[in-house]
Structure 1
């Protein structure tokens, strides 16, 4: 789902101020259009973020949390909360340091919401039992994931759990925090192609 938001945001950013309706006319300036796209693509890789190591470490911890042997390695299910808290603290600090970039505040809000409900539930995200309506495969994916569990409805902060039906290459449940994160990722991705230098006196038509 975040990948879809990122791709749509990039498309929005690359096509910003491009007269889509005029692209099929003979007078459309295709050479200049591709020049603009090249400059915008270059600007994607020029954007800099503060303390990216925090993001990389948090992603690594997130991958570790999906491994089925982590619970045994830590010595019990109740200890799964510690890597979860560490992961969300690191990513939250990274997002706060980069909060001035478009979309980062929304991503930070969503991350904090998800982190709260996960911490309150022992390091795992509760998933609404409504996911049963998506069939056995969707239900089995939740049961097989060590960082999720099927909720009964009485869990702490259940309002912030994965309760919203959503489709992203398959049906799943997402949270209010996920919605905020997707919105932020869309805005951030749309910002990335913004050119650092601008040419004046010429339009893409």
Structure 2
């Protein structure tokens, strides 16, 4: 989804007669924090998907470290409102994850509507064991509206959260405004 936001931001920037060369990445403060945070996420998801790590204290600590680093990055770049919008999205996703045991709650109904899986029964059989960093929403889910509840069928079939939307809007806003300079 974030790759789509990046590409849409660039496309809109060009349509508004902006130039990608105007994006001055040197003014972004502490980019290493974001690089390390997303490296942690990549490693975490890879280890979980390969079955080398399962959700528990280690994944919780790694997730927490990732979110602290990304929030520090947002804080250091807080004078740019686009980063604050991204930060709101990060906080919304973090709330959903950490209030639900270190896993993002996913709506089975949204997965069916997105065309990821054909029935709720199939979702429960396959999803529960395949992705250790996601859990199916149920009656015990805290703040379920912050989980992955929005089905999308464009480009790919997936389910996103309100936090993902904020992150995408902030990313597009940043790219477009920078290209217009």
Where 2:27 maps in the other structure, the secondary structure is coil
Which secondary structure does the structure 2 equivalent of 1:123 belong to? coil
Taking the aligned partners of 1:50 and 1:142, their CA distance within structure 2 comes to 39
Once residues 25 and 160 of structure 2 are traced to their aligned partners in structure 1, the CA distance between those partners, rounded to angstroms, is 32
Report the 3-state secondary structure (helix = DSSP H, G, I; strand = E; otherwise coil) of the residue aligned with 2:179: coil
Say yes or no: does 1:136 pair with 2:122: no
Partner Cα distance (2:128, 2:165) in 1: 19
In the superposition, relative to structure 1, how do residues 53 and 90 fare at CA in structure 2: closer, same or farther (>3 Å)? same
Give the CA RMSD over aligned residues. Answer: 2.3
Q: Which has the higher helix share?
A: 2
Structure 2 distance, partners of 1:46, 1:88, is 22
Q: Which blocks of at least 5 consecutive residues in structure 2 are unaligned?
A: none
- The aligned counterpart of 2:41 is 62
Instruction: Name the TM-score, length of structure 2 as normaliser.
Output: 0.82
Q: Which residues of 2 match residues 157-176 of structure 1 at below 5 A?
A: 157-176=143-162
Report deviation, 1:126: 0.8
Query: What is the SS of the residue equivalent to 1:42?
Result: helix
- SS of match in other structure, 1:126: strand
Which residue is equivalent to 1:189?
175
Could you list the structure 1 runs, at least 4 aligned residues long, displaced by more than 6 angstroms after superposition: none
Q: Does 1:116 align with 2:95?
A: yes
SS of residue in 2 equivalent to 1:65: helix
Shift of 1:42: 2.3
Aligned counterpart for 1:91 among listed residues 55, 70, 84: 70
Specify the alignment match of 1:41 in structure 2: 20
Q: Is this contact kept in 2: 1:128–1:153, CA < 8 A? A: no
Task: Show CA shifts across 1:63-114 (max 9, x none).
Answer: 122122122xxxx624421111111111011012112224111100010010
Single out whichever of 115-124 and 152-161 deviates more from structure 2. Answer: 152-161
Q: Unpaired runs of 5+ in structure 1? A: 19-36, 196-205
Taking a change above 3 Å as real, the CA distance of residues 98 and 135 of structure 1, as seen in their structure-2 partners, is closer
Bigger Cα Rg: 1
Please state whether the residue corresponding to 2:105 is helix, strand or coil: strand
